[in-house]
């Protein structure tokens, strides 16, 4: 009688049932071509009958490989990440990796906690939103010696793979679009104000300053963005700066919320007020008028991450480098 035992069905049980040793059963599962066809069948049926479920921890411990990768996303309710995730998942699951999702709530402290957790789980790579991390997180990542992907934004000093787009440049380009259309009193509206939101806003500032225009018409909040918030903040801005001609919103949710508030006030968009968002989510094509936005190549980002990460996992050397996948301005009808 064993002193400890989980009562779970193990390889050993299958092996006894079939009349071989457990290593053969193990092989039948992992390298079927090394096992005779008849045995293979008998093993399969024994597994089925007994309801064997492999113990991932035991396998990972013995082999030193977890076949899993962690993907950290800032928020579950932000659809920006869903396409990126699809690209990543498709590429990696094909190669036998399980993608473990964690969400940071836009906090680098929570990101640090998750990095620690997933390193304990022995993930073979980490995909992180953004390029800002806590000092301890960076130390953990360095020690772990596993591939790391930083995504969404670009950084001068990537830890490893960096795939995204230049958020500052994109913010600047969208602002320039306002200016090209003749708008002058262009404000900025931002929520949450994570690093990417800050970069976009900085892009707006740069463009405005280069055009010799005022950057005073700016309203931001640390609160999470939402449609409602977009409407409320638009109202505040119009109160304070009734002369506004256009507003660049840090993301599509805010822009849509702002548009709804304009509709409520019977303000014509873009004649009385031009609006633009950021990301090119589905909603920007559905509203009336469609919203101007910066279309980000999210699916491409996901595919690219999968491809480059697989190369690293399969032995490609560490060569920290950024890959800029660009963006596209879409004027919609709101600008």
Given a contact cutoff of 8 angstroms between Cβ atoms, the answer to whether 295 and 309 are in contact is no
**Among 134, 263, 307, 325, which residue interacts with its own copies (rule: CB under 8 A)?**
263
> Which of the listed partners (DNA, its own copies, none) does 29 bind, with a CB threshold of 5 to 8 Å by partner kind?
DNA
- Pairing between strand 98-103 and 126-129? unpaired
Query: Could you count the other beta carbons within 10 Å of the beta carbon of residue 96?
Result: 8
Residue by residue, DSSP assigns 228-249 as: HHHHHHHHHHHHH-TT--EEEE
Residue 6 makes contact with its own copies by CB under 8 A: yes
> Which of the listed partners (DNA, its own copies, none) does 27 bind, with a CB threshold of 5 to 8 Å by partner kind?
DNA
- Closest contact distance (angstroms) between CB of 140 and DNA is 15
How far is C-alpha 79 from the geometric centre of its chain's CA atoms? Answer: 9
User: Which residues 222-251 are close enough to bind its own copies by CB under 8 A?
Assistant: 226-228, 230-231
Q: How far is it, in rounded angstroms, from Cα 99 to Cα 119?
A: 14
User: 5 vs 157, which CB is nearer to DNA?
Assistant: 5
> Which of the listed partners (its own copies, DNA, none) does 228 bind, with a CB threshold of 5 to 8 Å by partner kind?
its own copies
**Among 4, 31, 38, 96, which residue interacts with its own copies (rule: CB under 8 A)?**
4
Residue by residue, DSSP assigns 144-159 as: HTS-EEEEEE--SS-S
- Closest contact distance (angstroms) between CB of 200 and its own copies is 21
> Which of the listed partners (DNA, its own copies, none) does 30 bind, with a CB threshold of 5 to 8 Å by partner kind?
DNA
Tell me the two tokens of residue 295.
């279309």
Residue 219 makes contact with its own copies by CB under 8 A: no
Closest CA to 172 of 114, 94, 237, 248: 248
> Which of the listed partners (its own copies, DNA, none) does 177 bind, with a CB threshold of 5 to 8 Å by partner kind?
none
User: 36 vs 45, which CB is nearer to its own copies?
Assistant: 45
Residue 275 makes contact with its own copies by CB under 8 A: no
> Omega of the bond prior to 270 within 30 degrees of 0, cis?
yes
Tell me the two tokens of residue 331.
């004027």
**Among 24, 85, 169, 296, which residue interacts with its own copies (rule: CB under 8 A)?**
85
Based on DSSP, count helices (H) and strands (E) in the chain, helices before strands: 13, 12
User: 6 vs 157, which CB is nearer to its own copies?
Assistant: 6
Q: How far is CA 138 from CA 54, 113, 150, 286, in A?
A: 34, 12, 12, 41
Q: How far is it, in rounded angstroms, from Cα 287 to Cα 270?
A: 13
User: 107 vs 215, which CB is nearer to its own copies?
Assistant: 107
Residue by residue, DSSP assigns 159-191 as: SSEEEEE-HHHHHHHHHHHHHHTT--SEEEEEE
User: 52 vs 97, which CB is nearer to DNA?
Assistant: 52
> Which of the listed partners (its own copies, DNA, none) does 316 bind, with a CB threshold of 5 to 8 Å by partner kind?
none
- Closest contact distance (angstroms) between CB of 61 and DNA is 4
User: 41 vs 53, which CB is nearer to its own copies?
Assistant: 53
Q: Which residues bind its own copies (CB under 8 A)?
A: 4, 6, 51, 53-58, 60-61, 64, 66, 73, 75-77, 79, 81-82, 85, 98, 100-103, 116-117, 119-122, 139-140, 143-144, 226-228, 230-231, 256-257, 260-261, 263-264, 282-283, 285-288
């Amino acid at each position: 009688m064993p002193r400890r035992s989980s009562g779970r069905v193990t390889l050993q049980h299958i092996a006894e049932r079939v009349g071989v040793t457990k290593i053969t059963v193990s092989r039948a599962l992992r390298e079927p071509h090394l096992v005779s066809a008849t045995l293979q069948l008998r093993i399969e049926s024994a597994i089925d009958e007994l309801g064997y479920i492999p113990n991932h921890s035991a396998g990972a411990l013995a082999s030193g490989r977890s076949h899993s990768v962690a993907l950290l996303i800032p928020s579950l309710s932000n659809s920006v990440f869903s396409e990126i995730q699809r690209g990543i998942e498709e590429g990696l699951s094909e190669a036998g990796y399980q993608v473990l999702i964690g969400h940071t709530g836009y906090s680098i402290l929570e990101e640090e906690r998750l990095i620690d957790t997933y390193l304990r789980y022995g993930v073979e790579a980490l995909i992180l939103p953004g390029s800002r991390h806590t000092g301890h997180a960076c130390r953990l990542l360095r020690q772990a010696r596993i591939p790391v992907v930083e995504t969404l934004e670009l950084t001068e000093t990537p830890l490893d793979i960096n795939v995204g787009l230049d958020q500052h440049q994109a913010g600047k380009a969208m602002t320039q679009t306002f200016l090209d259309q003749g708008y002058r009193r262009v404000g900025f509206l931002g929520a949450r104000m994570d690093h990417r939101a800050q970069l976009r806003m900085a892009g707006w500032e740069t463009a405005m300053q280069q055009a010799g225009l005022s950057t005073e018409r700016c309203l931001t909040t640390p609160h999470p963005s939402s449609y409602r918030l977009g409407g409320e903040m638009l109202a505040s801005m119009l109160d304070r700066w009734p002369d506004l001609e256009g507003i660049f919103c840090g993301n599509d949710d805010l822009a849509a919320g702002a548009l709804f508030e304009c509709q409520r006030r019977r303000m014509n968009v873009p004649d009385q007020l031009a609006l633009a968002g950021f990301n090119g989510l589905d909603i920007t094509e559905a509203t009336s008028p469609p919203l101007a936005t910066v279309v980000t190549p999210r699916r491409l980002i996901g595919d690219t991450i999968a491809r480059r990460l697989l190369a690293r996992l399969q032995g490609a050397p560490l060569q920290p480098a950024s890959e800029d996948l660009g963006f596209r301005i879409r004027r919609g009808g709101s600008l």
